[in-house]
Structure 1
Amino acid sequence: MDETNYALVVAPESALQFTLTRDSSADKTSDGTASCLMTLKHPGGNAYLAFKVKTTQPRRYLVRPNQGIVAPGTSETVKIVLVEKDKQMLLQSFDRLGQSALDHSKDKFLVQSCMIDETFGKNYLEQKRTLVDDHSPDGAKASKDLAESLTAMWNKLSSGEDSRIFNRKLQVRHVVAASSGKETPSKVAPKGKFSDKTSLESMTPDQMFAEISSLRRKYDELVTFSVNLTAERDILNNTLEQTKRDLNREVAKNKDLAAGKTRDGGVDTAKSSGGGIGFFTFIIMAVLIFLVAVKLSLMGKVDFLLEAPVVGDVMRMEL
């Protein structure tokens, strides 16, 4: 068999489309989940082929089964479900911006397939068939062990140099289900669809009510957005003013410190200068007093000094 036959035939070939619905009760054929089916068909031949499905957004999509084995002449159907939380987020984006918000999705899927040992493939499929209706704890453990054996096989193939793994990449498209006349007003008059084709004169009362409700919702969203912007602007302005005040205080504080140092330096210089002048004055006065005392002593007029409290005692001791 040609080696290109080891690659599974994937349908759809290039893109997976998820149809987003708003209300499951409006569609009796749908449970409200956004999902799609992918078929993996054996290309022909006698080889057993293993497959694995990967995605760039594993938390957004549930893939069941995400790996398995396809026997010759058979096919496997893989169901991919979009998580409800992400579906609602996509619908909100559609309501704000229209289909352009959903176009050019970066989500991708990768389908890998390769030929495996025939014995391993037969045993895997046989055990899988026996465990389909076994919901006991032992059956759950056996199913887990079976899945782990397939995962181990893939790990071994990925690390081996001789293994040939074929890859098929698929893009993702999200579309919103077409609205019906019995659905909600937002669906009867989709946002951005009030064109020239429908004038006020030709609109029915229900259509006019739906259009008014849509415009009212847009207005409320715009008001909320404006209020949030105004609040953020006020917060930023207050922060800016507070920052300016803090900066001014710091500048003034630095100026005061610089001026204080200058004044302190002048005072210290003055004190130092004043101390020098007082010392010299004391020396001069002492010399003058000494000369006067000598003069008086020579003149014999020192009796009045004996009456002085300290000087008199000193002079008596000398006498």
Structure 2
Amino acid sequence: MNAASGDGRDTTERVLTLLGLLQQRQTWSGPELADRLGVTTRTVRRDVERLRTLGYPVHAGQGIGGGYRLGAGQDLPPLLLDDQEAIATAVSLLAGAGGAVAGAGDAALRALTKLDQVLPSRLRHEVRALSGSVESFDGGRTPVDPEVLMTLARACRDEVEVGFDYPSGGEIRRRRTEPYRLVASDRRWYLLAYDFDRDDWRSFRVDRMTEVVARTWRFSPRAAPDAAAYVQEGVASRVYPQRARFLVHAPAETVRAQLSASAAVVRQRGSEHCELLSGAASLDAVLMHVLLLGHDFEVLDPPELGRRCRVLAERLMAAGATASPAPDMQAP
């Protein structure tokens, strides 16, 4: 076996190779690793110590069945992936980003942007070619173009402007934005961005975007609203012509379990009450939606909805007064 090279680059490459070997199988003996690396067992011990200083928990066992083993640590150290593993990981993350498991889409996209930062360019076309499999894992969420999703994720990460065509008022308009966050709901992906044309924050459905282009102009991030809360309120309320706010006499977790996140915003108000914000095409529709939850409630906004409650209550009382008695099911 050759002596270990004193060249720093050779040492780095050898340590990375050692890490890759430790990630391939559970246990290696010192002589096995020395033979694979072309060094002495003493050099293997030194390289193992280098990995430990980098945060990799490499355990050493003695006796029969002993050897070097890569264990689980308190923190996640970097993984060393070969080409096929990197491609498989990227495609799996794209599938996760398109899925409907609560929280998985956001986490998958965050991991994908980290992998994208170090993914060699030679592998990108293979990931792109395989990314069509994402649609078969959409799990009920509206499918989006993975390339668009990645373009937006990169732009948020790199803090560069994004332009895209978007339907508004019956026509397609070009929008220029500073992207802030991508938010996954139970049904769709949204982009929270600062819209230069509106001079304000806006949320955009990713599936409605076309001609998405990230620009090279960087920006300094503005003070932004909470992305998930802003998008949820927009989906549940701001997009509708009629909006209403209620005080519901039930715990927030009880009411949240009865509604999808896109149907209403539920805020805790003490242990036994919550505030509900929702919207619909008409105030009657919002009112009926809350009524059918089965809890006592009060109308907070708008004032005219309180008057509408009284009109509908009188109508229901009149209808009940004129209804025929239910037949006695016990009668012969």
TM-score with structure 2 length normalisation? 0.23
Computing the radius of gyration from Cα coordinates, the structure with the larger value is 1
Higher helix share: 1
Q: Which has the higher contact order (CA 8 A, sep 6+)?
A: 1
